Amino acid sequence: MHRTDMKQIDMYWIDMHCDTLSELMKVKNGNLQENTLCVDIKRLKQIKTAAQFFACYVNMGDFTGGESVWDRAYERVLSMTDYARKSVGKDFSLAYTAEDIFSAVGKGKVSGILTVEEGGVLNGKPERLEELYGRGVRLITLTWNYRNCIGSPNSREPEVMRQGLTRFGLETVERMNEMGMIIDVSHLSDGGVYDCIRQSSVPIVASHSNARALCPHPRNLTDEMLHALGEKGGVVGVNFYSPFLKERGGADISDIARHAAYMTDKAGEDAVALGSDLDGFDKDDLPDGINGIQDMGGLWAAFEKADITPRQIEKIMYKNAMRVLGEVLK
């Protein structure tokens, strides 16, 4: 049984999404320990991070050449899992269960949780779930911005947004439940989100999404989705990308708090977490007050100004994410 007594962690952070791994595959002037991007182990340790989710992200627009594109994307994902495993050291370890995070905190280490951002790399092959699990992946974002073997992405086209999961997608949800892998509906169509809520037997997450009522972007979640996600026992991670925070730009740290407060109201105080999406977009699109993971500490004051209570702040910072990890991972 997983230990879920959060008194074991004294004000640590959990961030449910960053794209640092994929960025490090492009740049050669840094590594996971220290770099000029928004996230590295050195800074994660400085701000007392309990766990950072690292996405093995692939953009299918980068691949050309017919049917083999999904297989080549899968190979790139595998190379990112290799990179992360080679980065394990005295300050960093990979976590496969909630217990692993508690153990790492006790040793003064930051935990990394590997995820895949683009479930299409399964390419209709369920055995790939087994391989990814064996390599330490514990969450899959079912789609990115392209239709795949699992379902359809978010879209400004109503017909696309109504589309649900494919038969393989429904089977993938069931198998992920059995294996103890977290289902992530960020980027998914509205129809796909509701299919996941109905099909999954355990809590699901939207690892890096905001409130559509505050910023009308199809990547954000409606009030109805937020409520349903909360009822399911899931969590939504507040995304720091300015265009998802404020429709006309010019977002600042108070907008992160504004979305957190709103989603707490709509989904419940047990359903909101952090999903920064750092290194998933240009630094020009960071909200004022956030220049990298090192600035997470400023969120406490911003949350207080948004009338989020200290108890709710602790839940957003780490407790809600830890609860889902404890309930889903095996």
Indicate the pLDDT class of residue 4, thresholds 50, 70 and 90.
very low
Which has the closest alpha carbon to 187: 224, 151, 135?
151
For strands 137-141 and 182-184, give the pairing.
parallel
CB atoms within 10 A of CB 289: 17
Residues 176, 209, 238: CA angle, nearest 5 degrees: 110
For strands 235-238 and 49-57, give the pairing.
unpaired
Which residue has 């708090």 as its token pair?
A: 257
C-alpha 140/C-alpha 215 separation (Å) is: 25
pLDDT at residue 64, rounded to an integer? 83
Residues 146, 217, 167: CA angle, nearest 5 degrees: 35
Four-CA torsion 282, 16, 38, 255, nearest 10 degrees = 60
Which has the closest alpha carbon to 315: 275, 254, 276, 269?
269
Which residue has 């960020």 as its token pair?
A: 186
* Domains recognised in the chain with CATH numbers: 6-328 (3.20.20.140)
pLDDT > 90: what percent of the chain? Answer: 92
Average pLDDT over residues 34-57: 97
Query: Residue 276: is its pLDDT beyond 70?
Result: yes
pLDDT digits (tens, 9 = 90+) for 192-227: 999 999 999 999 999 999 999 999 999 999 999 999
Global pTM? 0.96
pLDDT > 70: what percent of the chain? Answer: 96
Indicate the pLDDT class of residue 11, thresholds 50, 70 and 90.
low
Q: How high does pLDDT run on average in the chain?
A: 95
For strands 205-206 and 272-274, give the pairing.
unpaired
Q: How many helices (H) and strands (E) does the chain have?
A: 14, 9
Indicate the pLDDT class of residue 28, thresholds 50, 70 and 90.
confident
Query: Residue 7: is its pLDDT beyond 70?
Result: no
pLDDT digits (tens, 9 = 90+) for 171-181: 999 999 999 99
Indicate the pLDDT class of residue 27, thresholds 50, 70 and 90.
confident
pLDDT at residue 10, rounded to an integer? 56
